[in-house]
Structure 1
């Protein structure tokens, strides 16, 4: 008997699943339910990395053809701030207007024989009792997920940064990050072209700046539709020079905080979820749509192979996709953190170091050099101009100690701990109350981000240096930047990731010096 499949949600993930399943299992009945009309589309652009498109293109050419015929493509990413423009090449990416992509995918689904029912909301899964398989592809605020209940183990972590999504008639050349400091605080833009006459224009800021600028007055509890016009006019004025006086374009544009969603189990009974309904990753990594479509590919394959045993199909689907999604989410957390602190980086770094700091937030110097040797060379030249020596060979003063370079070691002897390099040494204490201008503090980073606030409280007002050990690379860096950029103290990170990481930490300004793990502890 032919399988009856219902898909809730007509975004890229739901459309891709429905099309692929009908193509793979032609005798199946596939019905897609979408609460909005076919012509409705919230948001602006959808971005794909060249390096990640192969699997999607192999499954169906709709995205490849759409990007070729209607999209825009670029290789360079640019950072604009303080009157300078810096670029990072070797980042092949393409974007398409979301409305155009949905139209193309709807046409593809129709050709495959999918029964698409627009303007139909499914508030109660019992309405679909006649279907053998129900796929929830209804986005981050998934009603399907909510109906399945707490047994799925769903969590949502809310970021501190505020963001709002506009378009603009100004056409950027490619992915462009703009930074402006207003009288109220810092604002930043993710801008990129999505058609011949429109670019995406995503704005981020911190909550304090947002409130000071009076941008907290719009009632976000209103249903989708009305846009925040006060914010639109404010941003048009602030970024007028960057967008050549062109207007912003609103589409249900309102401020929000990004929520990273994770879900332990992606199915219950004959209902299975995909895409944003079970996982999200900050838009700075441009992977949301890609992840949903890759979920669809795996789910189609497994269900087609196990039509009489959906539990096995779902288990296989989760076993393959959950580790892949977790990897992207972990990478995205570093990117999201950067956007939560970008105002600090704007104030602390000049354009060249700021740019290197930005692009090294998730990859090290060796990987950057492979894509764009000139970017690395410019960062190293900039350091040499400011300090007179290469980064790891630059002397460092820490209280009474003067180290000849930025690679240090820790020694333990008779209960005493010292930071050493080429004969110079600095005594360390583990009690923050004992730290002063002549001694350093050995501080342990937490294993989880939630513990950082308590450790921040242990940073002394005065210390010759703060040496950060333990935790993980992410928490060590955040603690180091609080020490160095937030408190004005010298920071040293104990790092176990190798020479490229050591150089990246110092050159980017994340730490003043590094203790490589191989020389972390020696017993004299």
Structure 2
């Protein structure tokens, strides 16, 4: 007997699954339920990296053809701030208007025989008792997921930064990050073209700035539809020079805090979830739609191969997809953190170092050099002009010691830790109250981000240096930047990952120096 499949949610993930399944199992009945009308589309652009499209294109040509015929493509990413524009090449990407993509995917689904029922909300899964398989592709606020209950192990982590989505009739040439400082604080834009007439315009800021600017008055809890017009007018004025006086375009535009969602189990009984319903990653990595569509590819393959054993199909699906998703979410956390602190970087760095800091948040200097040697050369030349030596050969004053370079060692003699390097050494204490102008503080970063607040409290008012060990690269960097940029202390990160990592940390301004751990006894 033919399999009966219901898909809840008519976004790209749901449409792609339904189309692929009907293609793969032609005798199956595939019914897609979407609560909105076919012409409804909230949001603006959908972005795909050239490097990630192969698998999607191999499964079905709808995205490839849509990007070719209706999308925009670019290779450079630009950063605009303080009246300067910096670029980073070698980043092939393409974008398409979400409304256009959905129409193309709806047409493709109809072509292969999917029964699409728009304007039909499924409030209770019991309404679908006649279906053999139910796929929940109903987004981050998934009703399907909520109905399956706590046994899925779903968690949600809310970011501190505020964001809002608009469009603009100003046409950016490619992915562009625009930074503006207002009287209330800093605002930043992710902008990119999605058609010949429109660009996506996502704005982020911190909550304090958002409140100071009086942008907290709109009731974001009301049903989808109305947009925050006060914010629209405020941002049009603030970024007027950057968008050539063009207007912003609203579409259910309202402030929110990004939520990173993780789910231990993606299925229960004959119900299985995909895309944002079970996982999200910050939009700065541009992977939400891609991940949902790749989920669909794997799920179709496994269910088609194991139609009589859905539990096995779901287990195989999760085993393949969960590690891939976790990797992207881990990468996205560094990007999300950058946007939570971008005002600090804006105030601390000149445009070149700011740009290098931004692009090195997830890749080191060697990988940046492979894509754009000019960006690396510019960052190194700026450092040389300012300091007179290459980054790791630049002298560093730490308390009463002037090190002749910034590649140091963490050593121990008779149980006493020392920061050692060319020019001398500094004794270290692990007791914050004992740190002073001649003594450094050795801190251990936490393994998880939640533990950072407690360690921040241990930072002293003064110290010859703060040396940071343990934890992981992410928590060490956040602790170092709090010490260096937030408290004005000299920070040293213990980093054993090699020359590229060492150089990246210092050149980007994440640390004043790096140290390798050599904790065996040394001579006096």
Cα distance in 2 between the residues matched to 1:338 and 1:496: 23
Report the secondary structure of 1:447's partner residue. Answer: coil
Superposed CA RMSD: 0.5
For the 8 Å contact 2:180–2:188, the answer to whether it is kept is yes
Structure 1 equivalent of residue 327 of structure 2: 327
For the 8 Å contact 2:417–2:429, the answer to whether it is kept is yes
For the 8 Å contact 1:86–1:352, the answer to whether it is kept is yes
Report the secondary structure of 2:407's partner residue. Answer: coil
Cα distance in 2 between the residues matched to 1:2 and 1:498: 57
Cα distance in 1 between the residues matched to 2:459 and 2:325: 35
Could you list the per-position Cα deviations for residues 255-309 of structure 1 after superposition, in whole angstroms to 9, with x for gaps in the alignment? 0000000000000000000000000000000000000000000000000000000
Cα distance in 2 between the residues matched to 1:439 and 1:522: 20
Cα distance in 2 between the residues matched to 1:268 and 1:193: 40
Structure 2 equivalent of residue 95 of structure 1: 95
Structure 1 equivalent of residue 513 of structure 2: 513
Structure 2 equivalent of residue 479 of structure 1: 479
For the 8 Å contact 1:47–1:96, the answer to whether it is kept is yes
Cα distance in 2 between the residues matched to 1:428 and 1:69: 62
For the 8 Å contact 2:412–2:518, the answer to whether it is kept is no
Alignment of 1:232-247 (within 5 A): 232-247=232-247
Structure 1 equivalent of residue 180 of structure 2: 180
Cα distance in 2 between the residues matched to 1:221 and 1:30: 34
Could you list the per-position Cα deviations for residues 2-37 of structure 1 after superposition, in whole angstroms to 9, with x for gaps in the alignment? 000000000000000000000000000000000000
Cα distance in 1 between the residues matched to 2:474 and 2:402: 28
Cα distance in 2 between the residues matched to 1:520 and 1:150: 47
Structure 2 equivalent of residue 142 of structure 1: 142
Structure 2: 5+ residue runs without aligned partners? Answer: none
The Cα shift of 1:504 comes to 0.3
Report the secondary structure of 1:101's partner residue. Answer: helix
Report the secondary structure of 1:522's partner residue. Answer: coil
Between stretches 269-278 and 219-228, larger displacement belongs to 219-228
The Cα shift of 1:496 comes to 2.5
- Runs of at least 4 residues of structure 1 off by over 3 A? none
1:424 aligns with 2:424: yes
Report the secondary structure of 2:312's partner residue. Answer: helix
Structure 1 equivalent of residue 297 of structure 2: 297
Structure 2 equivalent of residue 377 of structure 1: 377
Could you list the per-position Cα deviations for residues 321-360 of structure 1 after superposition, in whole angstroms to 9, with x for gaps in the alignment? 0000000000000000000000000000000000000000
Cα distance in 1 between the residues matched to 2:369 and 2:106: 41
Cα distance in 2 between the residues matched to 1:55 and 1:261: 24
Report the secondary structure of 1:481's partner residue. Answer: helix
Residue 523 of structure 1: which of 509, 517, 521 is its match? 521
For the 8 Å contact 1:410–1:522, the answer to whether it is kept is no
For the 8 Å contact 2:25–2:304, the answer to whether it is kept is yes
Could you list the per-position Cα deviations for residues 207-227 of structure 1 after superposition, in whole angstroms to 9, with x for gaps in the alignment? 000000000000111111000
The Cα shift of 1:423 comes to 4.5
For the 8 Å contact 2:402–2:423, the answer to whether it is kept is no
Q: TM-score, normalised by structure 2?
A: 0.99
1:438 aligns with 2:470: no
Could you list the per-position Cα deviations for residues 75-106 of structure 1 after superposition, in whole angstroms to 9, with x for gaps in the alignment? 00000000000000000000000000000000
1:157 aligns with 2:134: no
Q: How many residues align?
A: 522
Cα distance in 1 between the residues matched to 2:490 and 2:518: 18
1:14 aligns with 2:10: no
The Cα shift of 1:521 comes to 2.0
Structure 1: 5+ residue runs without aligned partners? Answer: none
The Cα shift of 1:497 comes to 1.7
Structure 1 equivalent of residue 399 of structure 2: 399
For the 8 Å contact 1:176–1:190, the answer to whether it is kept is yes
Structure 2 equivalent of residue 38 of structure 1: 38
For the 8 Å contact 2:404–2:423, the answer to whether it is kept is no
Report the secondary structure of 1:122's partner residue. Answer: coil
For the 8 Å contact 1:494–1:520, the answer to whether it is kept is no
For the 8 Å contact 2:74–2:174, the answer to whether it is kept is yes
The Cα shift of 1:495 comes to 1.0
Cα distance in 1 between the residues matched to 2:16 and 2:276: 14
Between stretches 416-425 and 447-456, larger displacement belongs to 416-425
Structure 2 equivalent of residue 192 of structure 1: 192
Report the secondary structure of 1:523's partner residue. Answer: coil
Could you list the per-position Cα deviations for residues 189-245 of structure 1 after superposition, in whole angstroms to 9, with x for gaps in the alignment? 000000000000000000000000000000111111000000000000000000000
Cα distance in 2 between the residues matched to 1:325 and 1:466: 35
For the 8 Å contact 1:30–1:115, the answer to whether it is kept is yes
Cα distance in 2 between the residues matched to 1:145 and 1:310: 18
The Cα shift of 1:432 comes to 0.2
Cα distance in 1 between the residues matched to 2:519 and 2:256: 46
Alignment of 1:486-505 (within 5 A): 486-505=486-505
Alignment of 1:333-344 (within 5 A): 333-344=333-344
For the 8 Å contact 2:74–2:173, the answer to whether it is kept is yes
